[in-house]
A and B are shown apart, each in its own frame.
Chain A
Amino acid sequence: GIQVEQSPPDLILQEGANSTLRCNFSDSVNNLQWFHQNPWGQLINLFYIPSGTKQNGRLSATTVATERYSLLYISSSQTTDSGVYFCAVVSIGNAGNMLTFGGGTRLMVKP
């Protein structure tokens, strides 16, 4: 099955700093989603981005499907950005939309 790798696994930032999280996947995909998991376990949708670039406030994401990677940019980080960021993909040829998750990037933003 498809493999999804995220880097870095852990990231510590000072409030106000910028960061880039990376997601590599081993095969062609139909869909790609980025999530933020808060300390209570809730997965919050950030982007639905099988290709191209999207922006939402201080966050933006770019997926280059032909090169099998996606990037999540966080600018002017805030303490509330802390948590785990997951990339998840649906591989091409999938009958449904089963998501395969990466291992996540654990972000801590210090005040």
Chain B
Amino acid sequence: DAGVTQSPTHLIKTRGQQVTLRCSPKSGHDTVSWYQQALGQGPQFIFQYYEEEERQRGNFPDRFSGHQFPNYSSELNVNALLLGDSALYLCASSWLTYEQYFGPGTRLTVT
């Protein structure tokens, strides 16, 4: 049973550019959440998708947007990258509102 997968593993971008991160949920899961983890801190909730719609959103600017596809996979898009966007981006999946399982993360560096 494949767990949550994310791509790419690492990414280096320049300030002002745009980036797209991808996530495939664990088999049987229908809900995908995205989190940002800065160095030395706990993960911060960005947003959650269920039935292809954004169900909840954390305290992140509109530069952060997402999408969920009919197969439950998801993308996180960040526009106009800032140096402060450098972080580990984690995707989590769950069945409805139950236990969440995390992917290995995408480490984004903005230079």
Contacts and interface: CB of A to CB of B under 8 A. Distances in A.
A100 B45 CA distance: 7
Interface string B41-56: 1111100101000011
Interface residues of B, number: 28
Chain B at the A interface: mostly helix, strand, loop or mixed? Answer: strand
A45 B42 CA distance: 15
Contacts of A103: 41-42
Contacts, number: 68
- Count class of interface residues, chain A: 20 to 34
A40 B103 CA distance: 12
A86 B42 contact: yes
Interface of B: 31, 33, 35, 37, 41-45, 48, 50, 55-56, 58, 88, 90, 92, 94, 96-102, 104-105, 107
Q: Name the 5 nearest CB pairs between A and B, nearest first.
A: A101-B42, A97-B97, A43-B102, A48-B99, A96-B56
Given A97-B33, A99-B43, 8 more contacts: A41-B37, A48-B99, A96-B48, A97-B31, A97-B94, A97-B97, A100-B45, A104-B42
